[in-house]
Amino acid sequence: MEWSAQIVTAAAVFAGTNVDDLLVLTVLFLSARAGGAPRPWQIWAGQYTGIGALVAVSVVAALGLTVVPDDRVGLLGLVPLALGVRGLVGAIRARGEGDDPPAVATGLLSVAGVTVANGADNISVYTPVFRTVGAGATAVSVAVFAAGVAVWCLAASWLGSHRRVTAVVERYGTWLVPGVFVVIGAVILAEAALG
């Protein structure tokens, strides 16, 4: 395969498997602006860590090793679900006490965990791609994925900086942000149960 074709293919694979990540990242950047957590650098680093973990597992699986059994991948949906429920419980408690609720994802590890959980199905796409294209094209794909993470973070930060969007999140974010995480976790679990 020609390098330019591999770049286009890798970009399409990344975009196709990470469209939902754009929503998650936008919510995280909105949360950072509205409540101060997680910090933007933690979102960037967590996203790179999570995508890196997904790519690493896919590369290992492409080499013939099964790291995460297919019937267990869906259980990763418990990560955003638990973070969302924790956020909702914190919002309910804070409402009664007049305090600010805790952020849903508060740091690099929780952002990475949400990224891995939300992208666990990516492994089933990346693995056969990496298995069939060879080492050189896999390296090109990984570089394209790294650039894609930067584009996604920039786009999500931009989307999360609009005054109207920020105003909505400041007003309803206590419920909206954890609610989005609960929905994401529930969708991952439902897809695993139906798949």
Considering 46-50, 82-86, 169-173, the range whose residues carry the highest mean pLDDT is 46-50
Considering 67-81, 133-147, 169-183, the range whose residues carry the highest mean pLDDT is 133-147
First to last CA, the chain: 32
The strand ranges marked E within 3-95 are none
At 142 the pLDDT is 94
Tally of CB atoms within 10 A around 5: 10
Structure tokens given for 34 = 């509205």
DSSP 148-182: HHHHHHHHHHHHTT-HHHHHHHHHHHHHHHHHHHH
pLDDT category at 100 given cuts 50, 70, 90 is low
pTM of the model: 0.71
Is it true that the peptide bond before 38 is cis, omega within 30 degrees of 0? Answer: yes
Residue-wise pLDDT tens digits, 13-52: 888 788 778 888 888 888 888 778 789 999 999 999 999 9
At 139 the pLDDT is 92
At 145 the pLDDT is 96
At 45 the pLDDT is 95
d(CA 104, CA 65): 34
Residue 58 has pLDDT above 70, yes or no: yes
Domain extents in the chain: 3-194
Residue-wise pLDDT tens digits, 113-152: 888 887 777 887 788 778 777 888 899 999 999 999 999 9
**Are 184 and 24 spatial neighbours (Cβ–Cβ below 8 Å)?**
yes
At 99 the pLDDT is 58
**Are 76 and 117 spatial neighbours (Cβ–Cβ below 8 Å)?**
yes
Of 33, 53, 70, nearest in space to 161 by CA: 33
DSSP 69-94: -HHHHGGGGHHHHHHHHHHHHHHHHH
Higher pLDDT among residues 98 and 129, named by residue: 129
